[in-house]
Amino acid sequence: MCVHIHANMDMNVRVFLISKVRKDQVVLDAMLPIFFLTLAFTLHLPTSSPLPSLNYYDANSDLHIIREWYNMVKIPLDGPTSMMQLYSEANDKTGKMDTQMIVYLQKVTQWQSKCASVPSLTVAECLVVMMYTDGFYREYDQATTNRNWRPYRVYTTLMMSALRKLSKIDPIPPGYTLYRGINFKASPPTSKRIVWKALTSTSLTIAVAKQFAGKNGMIFKFKPPSSRFAAKVSKLSNFNENEVILFPFEAFDFLFVDKWGGFTFKTSKSKNLLAPSYCTPNSVEWACYRKVLCSAIAC
């Protein structure tokens, strides 16, 4: 009898201990997330994935890359043969992945009548701008960002020539802000002075940028001190977006993050990267460059 009693008591103790251990484990499991969250805040540890970075070059440390691109496009194309060169490049798929270049070129050729609105452009210059605004920018900007420049040398040379002319024909009034919307949140640039890797589409209308940004994106604001850094292309676009294209490989100063989380930039007046080769010494353009009033690539 005594043994039976002791056995029951021993069993009760075991049940009690097991029950207590299980309850303690439940409490511990519930407290662990709170403990680690408190630790994260205390140590300022990230509790979510880092924001993606923007695609840009550092205007100082990556200057050799910028000059490599510039040396490819600094020599203008011969006007009378530019269309032939453009078609030849569009048909050549060497170095291009899943290219649609010839498709876009043939498509915009049907709208060639639009070129009458900008008579100062050659037909080839007009068509490359229309290609870009119609959707070719997806392929072209990706290739440029990846430094796959050579397969698009003719296109790029014509595009830069067209943008330089457009920026002078219809300059942006001083003080106007340009807006660009992207559909994701990005981390602020770590470089104070940056260079975009490709052409950058913006708009004079903030509502257009907001449409591109959507609910989960953000807006960039650009304040170029000179219209020579940007060209209006709405006349050659099928979209009513008041579009302005910023020249590639120009230096921009990152100013600040605004209260809505957007980034504000301005054209750098202290970093003209390509001027000596574009501006003839003792010319009006050279004087302009020396006074840091104009973009090298626009001279």
Query: Is 296 in contact with 279 (CB distance < 8 Å)?
Result: yes
Q: How many domains does the chain have?
A: 2
pLDDT-flagged residues of the chain (< 50): 1-9, 11-18, 20-21, 26-28, 37, 39-47, 274-299
Are both 63 and 16 inside the same structural domain? no
Quick one: 197 and 290 in the same domain?
Answer: yes
Give the pLDDT score at 29.
59
Q: Please check whether residues 140 and 19 belong to one and the same domain.
A: no
Residues 39 and 177 grouped into a single domain: no
Residues 174-218 have pLDDT tens digits of 889 999 999 999 999 999 999 999 999 999 999 999 999 999 999
Residues 41 and 74 in one domain: no
CA dihedral 165, 170, 172, 178 (to 10 degrees): -80
**105 shares a domain with 127:** yes
Residues 36 and 138 in one domain: no
77 and 136 part of one domain: yes
Tell me which residue range forms the domain holding 21. 1-48
pLDDT for the residue 18 = 46
At 268 the pLDDT is: 83
Residue pointed to by tokens 């257009």: 208
Asked if 23 and 125 sit in the same domain, the reply is no
Question: Same domain for 44 and 112?
Answer: no
Pairing of strands 193-196, 200-203: unpaired
**Token pair in block for residue 195:** 């260079």
Of 11, 28, 48, the position where a domain reaches its end is: 48
Greatest alpha-carbon pair distance for the chain in Å reads: 118
Establish how many alpha carbons lie within 13 A of residue 77's alpha carbon, considering only the half-sphere containing its beta carbon.
24
Residues 172 and 130 in one domain: yes
Residues near 8 by beta carbon (within 8 Å), at least 6 away in sequence: none
Q: In this structure, what CATH number is given to the domain that contains residue 136?
A: 3.90.176.10
Q: What is the pLDDT of residue 50?
A: 86
Q: Which pLDDT score, from 0 to 100, does residue 297 have?
A: 42
58 phi and psi angles, rounded to 5 deg: -80, 125
User: 37 and 93: one domain?
Assistant: no
